[in-house]
């Protein structure tokens, strides 16, 4: 069957004659914080190299823009790199690779200072020094911030900096559908130009995946609609293993209907979490502080996983508040006053007014745990290299691993910078040692095969079917929330795995209503759903095999942490027959032997 004329996909890059194949030394997939930092690092490392950024949205619409709270890096005289490293390792429930953590904390201050020089407007103390705030799981105040719009300013600064490098070429609103592999190494990508629907083979000596996370496999998430696990699925399909996919972080304070994040900075500035009785319930829970009951002034700054788990216990005890969008508790900022809220949390007030029609200066904010971050991702070494030659990854799409079983708040933005830069430098060295040449016949043939596959796929779905993309997506999200949520067990996970297989079969019967070529959102939604189903399967299968509770992975049938069996990273890969195989690799321990997970000492 051939595609209808309006769905037929052709070749040709912007400004190139049809039939020519665009080629770059390094292709970066994703235009957010990690992707822009990687592209700048390539350009800085070797100005002779051609760098391309391929992003399915305009870079300033990347999800990094929504990060609010801040970026962690040692700056105070009362702080140290060792303390930041230990907080990170302990906060990750000892699943972090400690060599990566040590490199991360050492390089984070330089990256944030570099952003200062590039123009990022960090908030200041009255004496002009960098202002820092407390964040969950951090013993010291080390989180740099720009009011509560840190991600916006960070991304804007990186985007402006990237514009200053003329050899950084952008493919805005292009969707990468596959990686090209020849002779055991990555040779480029195949991508769809969303404005026209045409497909391009884009050759490259190295590819860096910086596409962010996959929170949209769950129904309640802080993640933008673009966070569909594209890069993870691309690497997975190309044969690169994914690591630690069972560790899914819930943020304890998302708005109940939209999932929009109410930043941890709101609690860092002194916000309280209250149950339906107006009681600060966290004082009744073990948050890893030295005393059974946390110090009242700091208990809202416990780690995100334990705060989310405490919410579930409040729900089970009937102490949450029922709403049309599910159970909630309240975040109380009223005692902070308008001056503090407008000075340090202006975006929180704006979000509450715009999306909840409430004013946090005078009213309580309804919140619930929502999926926020993936600790797992594409398996990489400390320089972002994967097991597939020429393929690199950084940011939330990657797992290096500095986050272990639970990421501490404000570590993600500097992670994008530190490992985006490392991946960019490593990819530049790799590409410089093997300069771009004309694509081989095998690479061009793969590109044509992918184009024909897309044509067949889209034609089949355009011809009609009894299933709808939105229905399968919603069922997948419910399966993940119910089977692999804050708490999971063997029965719920096995059921989720079976249901995902059924959804995969039904996916083949999906109908497409939009038959146009120009900005066909059905095409994007179809490809994204395929990627999400892939990633969801890896989360469930890894969670099913990890028979312990650690950090964000809580098995009610295996409630204890088991270092004897599972002080190890899970690695999942798809075999040629389509089956998923999980194996384990020991965690790298350099200085800190696994111990009790505590904060505040």
CB 73 within 8 A of CB 458: no
Kindly provide the residue ranges of all beta strands, DSSP E only, lying in 271-399, ordered along the sequence.
Answer: 272-274, 329-332, 365-374, 377-379, 391-393, 398-399
> Rounded to the nearest 5 degrees, what angle is found at the Cα of 73, between the Cα atoms of 68 and 78?
120
Cis peptide before 401 (omega within 30 of 0): yes
CB 228 within 8 A of CB 221: no
- Token pair for residue 341? 């809220």
Query: Of the listed 153, 251, 473, 574, which one is catalytic?
Result: 251
CB 331 within 8 A of CB 365: yes
Report the sign of the C-alpha dihedral through residues 368, 372, 376, 382, in that order: negative
Write b or e for each residue in 84-101: b if 16 or more Cβ atoms lie within 10 A of its Cβ, otherwise e: bbbbbbbbbbbbbbbbbb
Query: Of the listed 37, 84, 153, 267, which one is catalytic?
Result: 267
Q: How many CA atoms lie within 13 A of 371 on its CB side?
A: 29
Task: Render 199-252 in DSSP notation, one character per residue.
Answer: EEEEEEEEEEE-----GGGSSSBSS-TT-S-HHHHHHHHHTPPEE-TT-EEEEE
C-alpha 467/C-alpha 461 separation (Å) is 10
Question: Is 205 exposed, middle or buried (CB count within 10 Å of its CB: 0-12, 13-18, 19+)?
Answer: buried
Closest Cα partner for 554 from 87, 93, 74?
93
C-alpha 208/C-alpha 200 separation (Å) is 18
Is residue 251 part of the annotated active site? The answer reads: yes
SS3 130: strand
C-alpha 77/C-alpha 109 separation (Å) is 13
Strands 23-29, 199-209: pairing is parallel
C-alpha 507/C-alpha 526 separation (Å) is 9
Question: Which residues, 6 or more positions from 118, have their beta carbon under 8 angstroms from its beta carbon?
Answer: 157, 158, 160, 161
Is residue 555 part of the annotated active site? The answer reads: no
* Alpha-carbon distance values, 466 to 472, 504, 507, 512, 567 (Å): 11, 14, 10, 10, 46
Question: Which residues, 6 or more positions from 421, have their beta carbon under 8 angstroms from its beta carbon?
Answer: 37, 38, 40, 41, 107, 111
Catalytic center residues: 251, 267
């Amino acid at each position: 069957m051939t595609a209808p004329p309006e769905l037929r996909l052709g070749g040709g890059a912007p400004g190139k004659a049809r039939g020519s194949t665009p080629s770059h030394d390094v292709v970066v997939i994703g235009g957010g914080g990690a992707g822009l930092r990687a592209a700048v690092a390539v350009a800085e490392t070797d100005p002779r190299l051609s760098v391309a950024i391929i992003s399915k949205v305009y870079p300033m619409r990347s999800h990094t823009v929504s990060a609010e709270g801040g970026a962690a890096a040692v700056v105070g005289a009362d702080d140290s790199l060792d303390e930041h490293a230990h907080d990170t390792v302990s906060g990750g429930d000892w699943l972090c690779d400690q060599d990566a953590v040590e490199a991360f904390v050492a390089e984070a201050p330089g990256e944030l200072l570099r952003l200062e020089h590039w123009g990022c407007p960090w908030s200041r103390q009255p004496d002009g020094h960098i202002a820092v705030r407390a964040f969950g799981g951090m013993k010291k105040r080390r989180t740099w911030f720009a009011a509560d719009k840190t991600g916006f300013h960070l991304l804007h600064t990186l985007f402006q900096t990237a514009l200053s490098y003329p050899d950084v070429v952008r493919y805005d609103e292009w969707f990468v559908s596959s990686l090209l592999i020849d002779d055991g190494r990555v040779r480029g990508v195949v991508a769809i130009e969303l404005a026209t629907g045409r497909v391009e083979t884009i050759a490259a000596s190295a590819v860096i995946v910086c596409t962010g996370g996959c929170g949209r496999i769950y129904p309640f998430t802080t993640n933008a609609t673009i966070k569909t696990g594209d890069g993870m699925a691309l690497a997975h399909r190309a044969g690169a293993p994914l690591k630690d996919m069972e560790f899914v972080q819930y943020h304890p304070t998302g708005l109940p209907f939209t999932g929009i994040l109410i930043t941890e900075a709101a609690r860092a500035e002194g916000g309280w979490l209250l149950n339906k009785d107006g009681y600060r319930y966290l004082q009744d829970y073990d948050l890893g502080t030295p005393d059974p009951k946390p110090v009242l002034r700091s208990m809202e700054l416990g780690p995100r996983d334990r705060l989310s788990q405490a919410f579930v216990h409040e729900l089970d005890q009937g102490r949450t508040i029922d709403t049309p969008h599910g159970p909630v508790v309240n975040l109380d900022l009223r005692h902070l006053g308008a001056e503090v809220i407008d000075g340090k949390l202006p975006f929180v007030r704006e979000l509450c007014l715009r999306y909840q029609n409430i004013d946090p200066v005078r009213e309580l904010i309804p919140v619930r745990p929502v999926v926020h971050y993936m600790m797992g991702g594409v398996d990489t070494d400390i320089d972002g290299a994967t097991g597939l030659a020429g393929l690199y990854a950084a940011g939330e799409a990657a797992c290096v691993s500095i986050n272990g079983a639970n990421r501490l708040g404000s570590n993600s933005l500097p992670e994008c910078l530190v490992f985006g830069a490392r991946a960019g430098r490593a990819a530049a060295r790799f590409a410089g040692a093997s300069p771009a040449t004309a694509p081989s016949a095998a690479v061009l043939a793969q590109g044509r095969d992918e184009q024909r596959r897309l044509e067949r796929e889209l034609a089949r779905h355009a011809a009609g079917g009894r299933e709808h993309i939105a229905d399968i997506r919603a069922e997948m999200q419910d399966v993940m929330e119910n089977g692999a949520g804050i708490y999971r067990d063997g029965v719920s996970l096995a059921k989720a795995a079976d249901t995902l297989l059924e959804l995969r079969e039904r996916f083949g019967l999906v109908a497409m209503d939009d038959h146009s070529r120009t900005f066909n959102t059905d095409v994007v939604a179809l490809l994204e759903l395929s990627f999400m189903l892939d990633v969801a399967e890896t989360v469930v299968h890894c969670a099913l095999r990890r028979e312990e509770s650690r950090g964000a992975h809580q098995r009610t049938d295996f409630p204890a942490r088991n270092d004897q069996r599972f002080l190890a990273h899970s690695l999942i890969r798809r075999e040629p027959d389509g089956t998923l195989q999980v194996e384990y690799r020991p965690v790298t321990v350099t200085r800190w032997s696994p111990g009790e997970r505590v904060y505040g000492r």
